[in-house]
Amino acid sequence: MMSANEIYSRIIQLARTHPDDALLVDIGCCSELCYSTQLDKCLQVSVGTDVRKLVYDGFPGAVIGCDLHPEFLALGYKLYNDNTNSRIHFFSADVFSVPSIVPDDIPYNADISSVTALTQLMGRVNFIYTGAFFHLWDESTQYAIALRLAGLLKRTPTSIIFGRHQGLVQEG
């Protein structure tokens, strides 16, 4: 679904201008979960498919997939059989672990493969993808998430948050 977004090719193009500095994070990389209470089972889980396709399509920078549920990340490794050779760094974290106000002394971790917390990415991310993510919460929680994602962004004119979401005319 990420690749269907209008800005997808622009993201890859922007990353190619500075590949050593490009970083994309997919927040909720396994969030395409459709749970059926009637069937009492999951009908679909993304398992990091979007970021795997991004790498396949030639994104030259670093790519991180983050999801709240580590078991879904493990399912992705099992499905794609890439636990030992994926250039995508996957880890489990909660977006609410990121402070809503960016501190002055942001810790810097140069090695993306050792990142274990979203706070280690504050002020470093060029591109954030949130597919099927924001619509899971009410408006005030969406605002709280947006503040946290903004704290992850690098302060450049080409930093972008994009995704796909479902909305209704009537909230709820």
The tens-digit pLDDT sequence of the chain (172 residues) is 899 999 999 999 999 999 988 999 999 998 654 554 555 655 455 789 999 999 999 999 999 999 998 998 998 999 899 999 999 999 999 999 998 877 666 666 668 888 999 999 999 999 999 988 888 888 899 999 999 999 999 999 999 999 987 777 877 6
- pTM of the predicted structure, to 2 decimals: 0.87
Place of tokens 């903004």: 150
Residue linked to tokens 């990142």:
115
Contact 47, 82 (CB under 8 A): no
For residue 41, the model assigns a pLDDT of 58
Q: For residue 68, which amino acid is it?
A: L
**φ, ψ for residue 107, nearest 5 deg:** -70, 140
- pLDDT of amino acid 166: 73
pLDDT at residue number 138: 86
Q: Determine the pLDDT at residue 17.
A: 94
